[in-house]
Amino acid sequence: MAGIFPIDAIRRTLLRRKREQRLARAAQWPIIQAEINHWQVLTADDDVATTGAPYQIEAGFHFKVNGEYFGGYLRSIALVHREAETNAKGNPTINIRYNPANPDETAVFAEDNASTLPFRIISS
């Protein structure tokens, strides 16, 4: 079983690096407002989960570009279950970035939404 830990660490490092590269490209994309239309409380991803906070909120959102609807998802930081359930409600407007060449490709930056949501999110 000890052999699994180094593989998991390498996998997490590669995933983190890929996400950081994608976010660096997305920093140049236009910002548009999107509306959250679906909430779900999930078991937190391995790279953010802690013993005391094993859940995350996932929110689906939609936005409109040139008369067409597009969408995506965002995830919260790790939370306790009660906090996740309490905060996963409503349909607030959030700021997202989208690729003008392919609006299906989106990114949500935590710093673009610092005061928009009642919980912190992970840039994705």
Domain boundaries, the chain: 4-122
**Average pLDDT for 31-42:** 96
Please give the Cα distance from 26 to 107 (Å, whole number). 6
**What average pLDDT is seen over the chain?**
89
Residues of the chain with pLDDT > 90, as a percent, come to: 62
Smallest CA-to-CA distance from 106 within 119, 91, 94 is with: 94
pTM tops 0.85, yes or no:
no
Look at residue 1 in the predicted model and tell me its pLDDT: 41
Report pLDDT digits (tens) over 43-54: 988 778 888 899
Look at residue 103 in the predicted model and tell me its pLDDT: 96
Please give the Cα distance from 106 to 97 (Å, whole number). 6
**Average pLDDT for 75-90:** 92
